[in-house]
Structure 1
Amino acid sequence: MPQKKKVLIRIGSLRHGGAEKVLVNFLKNLPEDKYEIDLLINLYTGMYIKEVPSWVNLHYLLKGEMITTNKPHEIPVKAFRVLYQKMFLWFPDLLYRFVLKNKKYDVEIAAIHGMYRELLSSPQKDSKKIIWIQNDIFNLKEYTPDVIRQLFKFDRILVISNKLKEEMQKSAKNDEEKRAVIKIFNPIDKDDTIKKANTVIDDYPFSGNLPTFITIGTVYPQKGYDRLLDVHKKLIDEGLKHQIIIIGDGFDFENIQAKLNQLGLQDTVKMLGFRSNPYPYLKKADFYIMSSRHEGFPTIIAEALILNKPIVSTDVSGIKDLLQDGKLGIITPNSEDGIYEGMKKILTHPELADHYQKEIAMTDLPFVLQKSVAQLQEIIDEL
């Protein structure tokens, strides 16, 4: 019997987020007889912890809830956590000796780009290193050209869109570095998404048959909900009646809620906060709208496609791949005007919704779980 490959995977936490969900989906579908996996999370918290398969060894640095605000009594806790995590970055030998019990790994994986320093500081110089870039790092100011160069120290750089692959390969110094960059679709569990979408809900915020857009995601400035409200107001003022549901929480929630009130949109826009299962709302809505300024691989778009929803999205990383260059949905310029034109188009041409639904139904979607898991196994096995 061939020996199992020993793999260490690192991520910050298992809170609700695209990268976290993707990782858990992979773990649930990797064969237990081929790999011995240690998962190390910085903060033991999050809704996906209970979904980690029992055969995966779970290690953590700290326990407790994520702190997303800056309330005075939380600052010391935050400071302690930062220092504690930094200590292991400065003295990685301590981490590998005391937390990981001196285990030797064949492969070490940073499941999110933000862990690149942690992996590069590993005292195990012989292990193969993989980094998984789950966001458009070329839009994040901390990813300077020098930091991007650091990423080429990894044996494999997994990216989740063609756009990211092109950008990374432009930064490569030679063919070997170019070959290290591999595009891999984030896996979506189709059956699970459909099952969750069929859950009965009794708090859907709208009745009647006005066209309803839904958008789902953490309420951060990058999601562009401010632009979405401005566009919505403009369309309403022009007599194009429609409604919007926003699902998600985040530090910008109050600001967006205040803007909504200030624009007098309380009747036509509903902010529902976080929902652990947003899919029944998505299923009931007519269209999915993405107003994001930037994204990595918008998992929610893949899930909207699985539920056969017509989509209007700004041109962010991953969208051209997911919507097949506009064959499966409307891709708009990444601006307020772009969002306006896209929403107006689908509201004034109702036949477009049927057209996109037919196209989606006839398409063999490339991000379904089995295909992505097979690809990841191939990458780990060939190292």
Structure 2
Amino acid sequence: MTEKKKILIRIGSLRHGGAEKVLVTFLKNLPEDKYEIDLLLNLYSGKYLSEVPDWINILYLNKGEMITTNRIQDIPQKIYRVVYQNLLKAFPQLLYQGILKGKKYDVEFAAIHGMRDEILNSPLKSSKKIVWIHNDLTEVKGYTTDEIRKFFGFDKIMVISEKIKETFLGLAQNKTEEQKIEKIYNPLDTDEILNKAEKPALNYSFDSSLPTFISVGTVFPQKGFDRLLKVHKRLLDEGFKHTIHIVGNGYDFENIKKLKSELGVDNTATMLGFTDNPYPYFKHADFYILSSRYEGFPTVLFEAITLKKNIIATEVSGVKEMLNDGAIGLIVENSEEGIYSGMKKSLENPEYFNRYSENLKEYTMPFSLQNSVDSIMNIIDRL
């Protein structure tokens, strides 16, 4: 029997984000007999922890929930976590001899771009190194061309959309660097989405007499929920009755909630918080709206497509690819005005969306869960 490949995977936590969900879906579909995996979290927390298969060894730097406030009582723990993580980042030998007990790995894997330096600074010089890029880094603060070029220190750069691939190809300086870039569609489980959608929408009932919009995602500025609420208010003021439902949690939750109250739309816009099953909410909504300022490859659209929803999406990385160049959903300008025009069109002329519904009936995804998992395994096995 061939020896199992030893792999170290690093990610911040397993909170409620797209990259975290995709990583856990990937791990759930790996064969146990091929790999020996250590999953190292900066923070042992998150809704997806319970879904990690038992055979995967979970390690962590800190335990407890993410601290998103600056309350006096939280500050000492917050400072401790930051100092401790920075110490281990500056002196990786401490981490590898301590928590990782001097173990040698064949492959070290940064599951998000934010783990770049932790993996590239590993004292294990013989291990092969992979990074998984889920965002369009040209839109992420602090990522200059020089910063993005540092990713070529990896043996493989896995990207999740054509736009991200083009960014890296444009920065590659030779054939060797070009060959490091691999586009892999995110592994997502369509059967799970369809099955979960049949369950009841917990603690909530929809008003079926009004057009309903749903948006799902981690609540932080990238997702543009502030823009969505301002457009919602503007349309209400123009006499277009409708409701908005935002599903998700995140460090901007209280700010968005406050904005909702300031705009006076508490009766028509609902913030449902995080749920590990958002699909019944999709099912009951008339439209799915993506209001993001930037993305890598918005996996949430895959979920909306699977559930045959009418879609309105800002033109961010991955959207044209996912919506088949606008054949199965309305792509709008990436601005408040774009979101406004798309939503107004859906309220003024809902029949306009019939064309998308028809195309969706015939549409099959250009990728499958097994294909994606096999592609990633193939990369790991070839290294």
TM-score over 0.5 (shorter chain)? yes
Matched letter for residue 85 of structure 1: Q
Q: Counterpart of 2:10 in 1: which secondary structure?
A: strand
Kept in 2, the 8 Å contact 1:196–1:279? The answer is yes
Asked if 1:222 corresponds to 2:222, the answer is yes
CA deviation after TM superposition for structure 1 residue 132, in Å:
0.6
CA deviation after TM superposition for structure 1 residue 162, in Å:
0.8
Matched letter for residue 160 of structure 2: I
CA deviation after TM superposition for structure 1 residue 367, in Å:
4.3
State the match for 2:329 in structure 1.
Answer: 329
State the match for 1:185 in structure 2.
Answer: 185
Q: Counterpart of 1:304 in 2: which secondary structure?
A: helix
Structure 1: how far apart are the matches of 2:57 and 2:208? 50
Kept in 1, the 8 Å contact 2:16–2:249? The answer is no
State the match for 1:175 in structure 2.
Answer: 175
Matched letter for residue 86 of structure 1: N
CA deviation after TM superposition for structure 1 residue 329, in Å:
0.4
Asked if 1:154 corresponds to 2:154, the answer is yes
Percent identity between the aligned chains? 58
Could you say if the C-alpha distance between residues 63 and 235 of structure 1 is closer, same or farther in structure 2, counting changes exceeding 3 Å? same
Deviation track 1:92-138 (CA, whole Å, cap 9, x = no partner) reads 12212222222221111000100001001111111110011111211
Kept in 2, the 8 Å contact 1:218–1:249? The answer is yes
Could you say if the C-alpha distance between residues 119 and 37 of structure 1 is closer, same or farther in structure 2, counting changes exceeding 3 Å? same
State the match for 1:267 in structure 2.
Answer: 267
- Give the 5 Å matches for 1:334-373: 334-373=334-373
Structure 2: how far apart are the matches of 1:192 and 1:261? 35
Structure 2: how far apart are the matches of 1:131 and 1:232? 38
State the match for 2:243 in structure 1.
Answer: 243
CA deviation after TM superposition for structure 1 residue 325, in Å:
1.3
State the match for 1:72 in structure 2.
Answer: 72
CA deviation after TM superposition for structure 1 residue 360, in Å:
2.0
Matched letter for residue 17 of structure 2: G
For structure 1, list consecutive stretches of 5 or more residues without a partner in the other structure. Answer: none
CA deviation after TM superposition for structure 1 residue 240, in Å:
2.6
State the match for 1:100 in structure 2.
Answer: 100
* Structure 1 stretches of 4+ moved >4 Å: none
Structure 2: how far apart are the matches of 1:33 and 1:316? 39
State the match for 1:164 in structure 2.
Answer: 164
Q: Counterpart of 1:116 in 2: which secondary structure?
A: helix
Kept in 2, the 8 Å contact 1:110–1:119? The answer is yes
Kept in 2, the 8 Å contact 1:205–1:270? The answer is no
Asked if 1:212 corresponds to 2:212, the answer is yes
Kept in 2, the 8 Å contact 1:8–1:38? The answer is yes
State the match for 2:38 in structure 1.
Answer: 38
State the match for 2:26 in structure 1.
Answer: 26
Structure 1: how far apart are the matches of 2:362 and 2:111? 32
Matched letter for residue 9 of structure 1: I
Could you say if the C-alpha distance between residues 68 and 15 of structure 1 is closer, same or farther in structure 2, counting changes exceeding 3 Å? same
Could you say if the C-alpha distance between residues 253 and 378 of structure 1 is closer, same or farther in structure 2, counting changes exceeding 3 Å? same
Structure 1: how far apart are the matches of 2:353 and 2:16? 30
Measured on the aligned residues, the alpha-carbon RMSD in Å equals 1.6
- Give the 5 Å matches for 1:257-336: 257-336=257-336
Matched letter for residue 263 of structure 1: L
Structure 1: how far apart are the matches of 2:295 and 2:288? 16
Structure 2: how far apart are the matches of 1:56 and 1:90? 27
Greater CA deviation, 275-284 or 261-270? 261-270
Q: Counterpart of 1:152 in 2: which secondary structure?
A: helix
CA deviation after TM superposition for structure 1 residue 345, in Å:
2.0
TM-score by length of 1: 0.96
Structure 1: how far apart are the matches of 2:64 and 2:252? 23
CA deviation after TM superposition for structure 1 residue 236, in Å:
2.4
State the match for 2:4 in structure 1.
Answer: 4
Matched letter for residue 64 of structure 1: G
Deviation track 1:59-109 (CA, whole Å, cap 9, x = no partner) reads 112211111122122111111111111222122122122222222211110
Matched letter for residue 114 of structure 1: G
Q: Counterpart of 1:99 in 2: which secondary structure?
A: coil
